[in-house]
Amino acid sequence: MTFEFEYPDNLRYTESHEYVRLEGEIATIGISSFAIRELGDIVFFELPKVGDTIVAGEPIGTVESVKAVAELYAPVSGTVTAQHGDVVDDPALVMDDPYDDGWLFQVRVDNPDTALAGTLGAGEYRARVEGEG
């Protein structure tokens, strides 16, 4: 892995280790560098499809590594507008750059004003995962 173990301040995080970047009403979703470190080499993603409706906190797919299979949970509610095909074809891209080129999918959120309720800021997330690590 070539990225630093970090939690960018411009993102919000979930306790299940997804991140979300909200720009207007479009949320870009991926998994944190902590999740990647815990999972090890990622070999497969099962992601929601374009047009799927997702609900915050509900399971929406899986990530499979050489160590384990983990559920992915929706950090926001809305309709999936894009799936990052390059990551589906080559899951290792997430390990190289989880926060920029390694995003998983995008969602048009139902309510941008409240979409991030229940997510954690970078400092809160860092404190929780450092306690886990």
Residue range 26-50, pLDDT digits in tens: 999 999 999 999 999 999 999 999 9
Question: What is the rounded CA–CA span in Å between residue 28 and residue 23?
Answer: 8
Question: What is the rounded CA–CA span in Å between residue 120 and residue 126?
Answer: 9
Q: Find how far residue 57's CA is from the centre of its chain.
A: 12
> Residue range 100-122: average pLDDT?
95
| pTM, full prediction | 0.92
Q: Comparing C-alpha atoms, which of 63, 61, 77 is closest to residue 32?
A: 63
> Residue range 77-81: average pLDDT?
98
